Amino acid sequence: MEWTEDSSLATRMLRDLGDEIWIDKHLPHVTELVYCLTRSWYQRRKPLPFTPREVLLFTTGVGLEGVLLKQHKQQIEGVLDGIGYATDFLTYEGYPGEMKTTRLSAKKGPHELPVTWMRQMLSYLRCNKDDRMLLAVLHLMGDYAPPFPMLKVWQGKALQWEIGMNWAWMLMRKDIYMASLETDTPPEQFTYNEPWECDNCGYKLICDANQAIKDLKGG
Ligand code: SF4
């Protein structure tokens, strides 16, 4: 058999997958407040197609979650203080669980994982009125020695002040975000995000241009 690479078909398949990503969520939603507010604003108001990299990472995560969580998938959805949430699953004991897929090394413990995950989980604890959390992390590359998928599961217990402080932070973000939507002005670029979020972000060119204009005007 002879093979010919068909990159145009690959592009089309990624585009079709990208069309499936956007799910209309309650405004605002935990996930859009946890991650870059500027990016969330653009996704609501002036969405660009997802980049191939974003599509691939998203679909890998969703596909694996669908299989791994099939047995006890009980997504708990609701709204608290005007913020929508959807907890990934409930454990056998009935407390919230979150499933993540990452290329980060399995050598990393929970405290070295993205702070955005922690904010998201503390938010779900507040929404579910619990302090116990299960975090299941599928490390796509394992510990890179050699690269091979590895599943790690962590039991967490949060302190009430951690849950409370995180929720106060979320409410502050909600106010900023909703005001920006009302005034139809995106939140200031490079201000409401973690620096790594800009890597491979589809809105980076727009943010760079807005920052250049701001710098020209003298900040
Ligand atoms: S480039 Fe950075 S600041 Fe701009 S939308 Fe993306 S993540 Fe947010």
pLDDT tens-digit map of 125-174: 999 999 999 998 989 899 999 999 899 999 999 999 999 999 999 999 99
Question: What separation, in Å, do the N-terminal and C-terminal C-alpha atoms of the chain show?
Answer: 61
Name the residue of 198, 206, 213 to mutate for ligand 1: max ligand atoms within 8 A of Cβ: 198
With 0.75 as the threshold, say if the pTM is over it: yes
Nearest CA to ligand 1 atom 3: 190
What percent of the chain has pLDDT above 70? 93
pLDDT at 149: 87
Where are the domains positioned within the chain?
A: 11-216
- Classify 139 as helix, strand or coil: strand
Rounded distance from Cα 185 to ligand 1 centre (Å): 14
CA 19 to chain centre: 17
CATH of domain 11-216: 3.90.320.10
90 has a pLDDT exceeding 80: no
Measured from the CA of 39, which atom of ligand 1 is nearest? 5
For residues 154 and 97, give the distance between their C-alpha atoms in angstroms, rounded to a whole number: 10
pLDDT at 73: 62
